[in-house]
Amino acid sequence: MSEKLKVGVLVSGSGTNLQAILDESNDGLPVEVVKVVSSRPDAYGIERARAAGIPVVWLNREAYADPAAADRFIARELVAAGAQYVVMAGYMRKVTPVLLEAFPNRVVNLHPALLPSFKGAHAIQDAFDAGVKVTGVTVHFANEDYDRGPIIAQRPVAVREDDTVSDLAARIHDMEHLLYPEVLGMIAQGRVHVTSEGKVSIDA
């Protein structure tokens, strides 16, 4: 059994990816969520953290008036909790160099499209509107270039002829809940490396 990877999870909303990580952790995934940080005081992810007995802190809009100060606070909280990696799970704030430098190549993000296509906050709608036949999910390391960090893993999701945006979003979220824990498991096993060329290499 691999030693458990200690992660801090950043959320902004319902926290379904946080829940997927917690469920898989309870089922043997070698990952321990040591702290949850919410960018909103009313995010349901806070309740999920509390139900699991995980320490949680939250910020509000005023706290983000100075993004670097907000990230300095987050970094202090996560370091104090013993987090080795930062996991962005539906976190709707762009992280600053303050957090990235505190956790170099250790801030992981999830994006509901196959990057580099359909960057930004409306990726599912944008892919649907573009009429693509395949979209998907990307897990990548965050860096200062929004949605352009080194890609760790991707999974395709087909767009069906009779899909609505809601149908497509539901299947993309289902794939997120599978892929994110899988990637964290690979990181916990020490199999994920960022090369000198800025790409990700994964040991077999």
Catalytic residues: 111
Q: Confirm if 108 and 140 have CB atoms less than 8 A apart.
A: yes
- Bridge partners (DSSP) of residue 35 are 8
Identify the CA nearest to 26 among candidates 47, 4, 45.
4
3-state secondary structure at position 16: helix
How buried is residue 35: exposed, middle or buried, by Cβ count under 10 Å (0-12/13-18/19+)? buried
CA distances from 166 to 28, 120, 163 (A): 31, 18, 8
User: How long a stretch of residues is the chain?
Assistant: 204
Tell me how far the alpha carbon of residue 21 is from its chain's centroid.
10
